[in-house]
Amino acid sequence: MDNIFKKYLEGKSVRNIDFKVFEPSFVPNKMPHRESEIGILVDNFGKILMGGMPKNVLIFGKSGTGKTAVMKYIGRELEDASKNRVNIRSIFVNCQIKDNSYSIFETMGNSIEGEKIPFTGWSFDRLYAAVKKNIDMYNGNIILVLDEIDRFVKKNGDDILYQVLLLDSELEKSRITLVGITNDLKFMDYLDSRVKSRLNEEKIVFPPYTSEQIYDILMDRVNIAGINDFVSEGALRLISSLASQENGDARKAIEMLKASIQLAISSGENKVEEAHVFSAKNRMEYDAIMETIKTLPVQTKALLLGILLLRESGTIQFTTGEVFEAYRNVANGANLPVLTPRRISDMLSDLDSLGLISANVTSLGRYGRTKMIEINVSFTDAKRVILEDENFRGLKATPTMKQLRFNIDH
Ligand SMILES: Nc1ncnc2c1ncn2[C@@H]1O[C@H](COP(=O)(O)OP(=O)(O)O)[C@@H](O)[C@H]1O
Ligand SMILES: [Mg+2]
Asked whether residue 11 is assigned to any structural domain, the reply reads no
Residues 217 and 286 in one domain: yes
Residue type, 211: S
Rounded Cα–Cα distance for residues 306 and 324 (Å) = 8
35-53 pLDDT, tens digit each: 999 999 999 999 999 999 9
Which protein residues have a CB closer than 5 Å to ligand 2 (ion)? 68
Residue 309 contacts residue 406 (beta carbons within 8 Å): yes
Asked whether residue 13 is assigned to any structural domain, the reply reads no
How is 162-175 classified by DSSP, letter by letter?
HHHHHHHHH-SS-E
Residues 227 and 321 in one domain: no
- N residues, the chain: 410
Q: How high does pLDDT run on average in the chain?
A: 89
Residues 49 and 145 in one domain: yes
State how many domains the chain has. Answer: 3
Residues 38 and 91 in one domain: yes
Residues 227 and 240 in one domain: yes
Residue 106 contacts residue 117 (beta carbons within 8 Å): yes
Residues 220 and 337 in one domain: no
Rounded Cα–Cα distance for residues 206 and 218 (Å) = 18
CATH number for 123? 3.40.50.300
Domain containing residue 328: 296-403
Which of the listed residues 241, 269, 292 is the one where a domain comes to its end?
Answer: 292
Q: Which residues line ligand 1 (CB under 6 A)?
A: 24, 26, 28, 31-34, 61, 63-69, 217, 250-251, 254
Asked whether residue 16 is assigned to any structural domain, the reply reads no
Positive/negative CA dihedral, 151, 154, 156, 159: positive
Residues 48 and 191 in one domain: yes
39-97 pLDDT, tens digit each: 999 999 999 999 999 999 999 999 999 999 999 999 999 999 999 889 999 999 999 99
Residue type, 307: I
The pLDDT value recorded for residue 374 is 83
∠ CA 58-80-213, rounded to 5° = 55
Residue 175 contacts residue 53 (beta carbons within 8 Å): yes
Residues 180 and 230 in one domain: no
Q: How many Å lie between the centroid of ligand 2 and the Cα of residue 67? A: 6
DSSP-derived pairing of the beta strands 369-375 and 357-363: antiparallel
Residues 170 and 242 in one domain: no
Rounded Cα–Cα distance for residues 276 and 87 (Å) = 48
Residues 198 and 97 in one domain: yes
Asked whether residue 359 is assigned to any structural domain, the reply reads yes
Asked whether residue 188 is assigned to any structural domain, the reply reads yes
Lowest mean pLDDT among 165-169, 230-234, 256-260, 364-368: 364-368
Q: How many Å lie between the centroid of ligand 1 and the Cα of residue 64? A: 5
Residues 301 and 278 in one domain: no
Ligand 1 atom 2: the closest Cα is on which residue? 31
CATH number for 286? 1.10.8.60
